[in-house]
Amino acid sequence: MHAPAILRQPEINALLPEAGLPEKAIDIHTSPVKRMKLWELDRSHHCPVIGLCLPPADLECFARRFHFNAPINNAHALHVEAVCCVTSRNTVSETIHKHLDRLHQSHIKQFEAAKTDNEVLALWKTHFSNGKIAGPLWAALTHKRISPAIREQIHDMVHMHMHEAVAELSVTQNRANQTGQTLKELAEQLEQTKEKHVQTELRLRQRLEQAAVEIRQLQQSRREDDTLRQRLEMLESGRAMLSMGQRLVQLTTENEQLQIKVAQADELKQSLKNACHSLAELYRERDALHTERNSLENLLLAFSSTNTTDKEPADTTDIPTASYDCILCVGGRSAQLPHYRTLARQLGLKLSHHDGGQEDALSRLPEMIYGATAVICPTDCVSHAAYYQIKRLCRLGRKPCLLFKGTGISSFATALAKIAAGEASINNSFSQLPETTA
């Protein structure tokens, strides 16, 4: 270490009196006081400087950069090799020294304000008590005005602090292990407590749901009870009976009105049905009248053509009639029989007659039917026995039979016109008259 010295300039010597202090020889060219370098420190100080002031990551970087022999993953071997390298001035020690200066620049500036050992020691103790060691240690050990005794004192404090730190770390580690074990046990207990809590919560939720269901049921029962109570009060007060009676009277009146309307509707339906039947009868009568009219018109035309010609009586072969031997008429009015025969002759038909059991015996009816080509019968002027016997005999003998209503000349004329046209009915179905040979 360089001892402190006071440099005197020549100008200052000139100002001193001649009878003053005795003159001392002063070397004007003495170099100024400087901070110590890393390799200039005592070897015992290198270990704490490398171990505390240089971060492990930076040490690994220097090891890779300068190709240390120690493995990178072996921190102790790297520390030992670095301590050995900084004992002398070389590239490694110079680089580490510059790096420590840059790293702890702020603390170096703080310690530059200390001018004596005591000030350096006091500043060091202040940082040391606050738990700051790395930067203050480097700044204190390399301070330009610190004495070796103070440097050793600081080294001893760091050394003992490291022992205490190791012991405290061991205690802390034991406590951490115990705390970890306790924490593990507490975690297990907490897990068990959580499981119990979950089960308890589940049971409580189930009970809560059951209670909610019971509450809803109770509320529903209460509403029903209120409704029944109100109905009971109404029944007891008589208002319900009065309302029901009024409603019953109203419904009875409506029912009677509906029955009247239904009866009227039935009457209307029956009237409509009767009107439909009457209309159908009228249509049938109209059609029959049209047919009779057409037949009469044809007969009149035939009569007029016969009377207006100068020839002999009309040739009936010109009238389109079916071939026949004889037409049997059963029933009808006997007084009109001459007119029946006249109409038949006009149409070229040969007519035989049976009165249907009035004077002529019904026993002759089968013989006359079998001898006739076709049979006509006015159904409203014939006995029932003759009517059914005609139908039976015509069906058995395969005789065409024309049944018609009406006893007038027009109805008979219509029936003869149908016979002349070759139409007849067997059991109410029309068929073509069979042709016979003369």
**185-217 residue pLDDT tens:** 999 999 999 999 999 999 999 999 999 999 999
Distance CA 110, CA 67 (A): 35
> How confident is the model over 248-259, as a mean pLDDT?
91
Per-residue burial over 239-260, b if 16 or more Cβ lie within 10 Å, else e, is eeeeeeeeeeeeeeeeeeeeee
- Give helix 134-141 / helix 148-237 axis angle, nearest 10°: 170
> How confident is the model over 121-133, as a mean pLDDT?
89
Q: Where in the chain is the domain with CATH 3.40.50.2300?
A: 320-432
The confidence band for 276, taking pLDDT boundaries of 50, 70 and 90, is very high
Distance CA 130, CA 19 (A): 54
Is the pLDDT score of 425 beyond 60? no
The confidence band for 300, taking pLDDT boundaries of 50, 70 and 90, is low
Tell me the pLDDT of the chain averaged across its residues.
79
Best CA proximity match to 339, nearest among 347, 402, 307, 293: 347
Is the pLDDT score of 108 beyond 70? yes
CB 50 within 8 A of CB 15: no
Task: Decide which of 186 and 3 is more confident.
Answer: 186
CATH for 320-432 is 3.40.50.2300
The confidence band for 56, taking pLDDT boundaries of 50, 70 and 90, is very high
3-class state of residue 378 by DSSP: strand
pLDDT at 311: 43
Is the pLDDT score of 332 beyond 90? no
- Which value, to the nearest 10 degrees, does the dihedral of the CA atoms of residues 203, 209, 211, 217 take? -150
pLDDT at 301: 60
Task: Give the Cβ contact number of residue 90 at 10 Å.
Answer: 13
- Token pair 């009878």 is found at 19
The DSSP H or E segment spanning 169 is helix 148-237
Is the pLDDT score of 313 beyond 90? no
The confidence band for 95, taking pLDDT boundaries of 50, 70 and 90, is very high
> How confident is the model over 259-264, as a mean pLDDT?
92
Pairing of strands 423-426, 429-432: antiparallel
> How confident is the model over 241-266, as a mean pLDDT?
88
> How confident is the model over 328-351, as a mean pLDDT?
83
Is the pLDDT score of 184 beyond 70? yes
Is the pLDDT score of 132 beyond 80? yes
Is the pLDDT score of 291 beyond 80? no
> What radius of gyration do the chain's Cα atoms show?
77
CB 394 within 8 A of CB 335: no
List Cα–Cα distances, 68 to 43, 47, 60, 98, 121, in angstroms: 20, 17, 9, 19, 36
List Cα–Cα distances, 29 to 5, 11, 26, 32, 375, in angstroms: 12, 16, 9, 9, 182
Spatial CB neighbours of 233, under 8 Å, sequence gap ≥ 6: none
The confidence band for 23, taking pLDDT boundaries of 50, 70 and 90, is very low
